[in-house]
Amino acid sequence: MKDRWMLLSLVSGALALLIMGSYAKQQRAESVKLDAKPAGNEWTSAMADQEEHKTYQLTAGAHIDVFNISGPVSVEGTDGSAAEVSIYRTAPNRDDLAYRKVSVEQTSSGLTITQKNDGTERSAIDLLNRVVLKVPRQVSVTGKSISGDFNVSGITGAIDLNGISGSVDAKRLDGALTVSGVSGNVRVAVTRIDDTGLRVSGVSRNVYLGLASNLNAELSLGNTTAGVSNKIEGLALVAAGPSNYSGRLGSGGPRIEVSNVTGFIVLQRI
């Protein structure tokens, strides 16, 4: 009886080890399969890419017009008179790169950059166009119908952004700024503004206003659903009705107007 019990124990142990070993192999196989990459060039060729780089000469006061882009746009002001235009195009299907190409046209007033649609494209195109601009500081910029984020910095001319299906980040600006129709957050760092002021309206998320300590301006904040978060010490906001506030920075001056914001309006120092 004792020998029989020992035999049964040995058989049970062997079966347990066999099952555990098989399970471990299965787990290792699943782990390897999860992290596996296709053989050969299949992994690297999964995305098709195109790049285009061009340089243009612009005069002071030129205008940059960017519109109807299915991807993010970045504009940076630099020294000199040269405008560097870089276009990056990405699609999972290389055939899609034949459509929605971005054209750059130099005009008497500056540059016009837009995405073309000749009416022959298929109904479903999976394509990302990214436009990166390095331009002279003394230009003005208009951005409209952008399906992505819009970042702009170091520009001394007027900025007008409308219909941005992403977030807006604007900093180191010296001219007028108008931002409207934004589906993401708006972040603006204000060191100085000219007499035309700054206006932000129609924002579906939050507006973050970074204001320099030596800035002189009049604040007008209206129609914000979530309210105002004032993180600036010594800045008094006066209620002018439901969800409407006014305030003065320094000795006052040009107007900073923010209205029709679904999220918070956040005031802070930079």
Measure the CA–CA gap between 216 and 224, rounded to whole angstroms.
Answer: 23
pLDDT at 38 (0 to 100): 38
What integer best gives the mean pLDDT of the chain? 85
Element counts in the chain: helices (H) and strands (E):
1, 21
pLDDT at 34 (0 to 100): 31
pLDDT at 119 (0 to 100): 65
Q: How confident is the model at residue 46 (pLDDT cuts 50, 70, 90)?
A: low
> Does 49 or 21 have the greater pLDDT score?
49
pLDDT at 7 over 90: no
Measure the CA–CA gap between 193 and 150, rounded to whole angstroms.
Answer: 20
Q: Give the tens place of pLDDT for each residue, 96-152.
A: 898 899 999 999 999 999 998 766 666 678 899 999 999 999 999 999 999 999 999
Select from 116, 132, 128 the least CA-distant residue to 64.
132
Reading phi first (left if > 0) and then psi (alpha if -120 to 50, else beta), residue 197 is in left
Measure the CA–CA gap between 178 and 159, rounded to whole angstroms.
Answer: 6
84 contacts 134 by C-beta, under 8 angstroms: yes
pLDDT at 193 (0 to 100): 86
Give the pLDDT mean for 202-222: 95
Q: Give the tens place of pLDDT for each residue, 144-193.
A: 999 999 999 999 999 999 999 999 999 999 889 999 999 999 999 988 88
What percent of the chain has pLDDT above 90?
67
| Coil vs helix vs strand at 8 | helix
What percent of the chain has pLDDT above 70?
81
Give the pLDDT mean for 233-252: 90
Residue 200 phi, psi dihedral angles, 5° rounding: -130, 130
pLDDT at 29 (0 to 100): 34
* Most confident of the ranges 15-19, 55-59, 213-217: 55-59
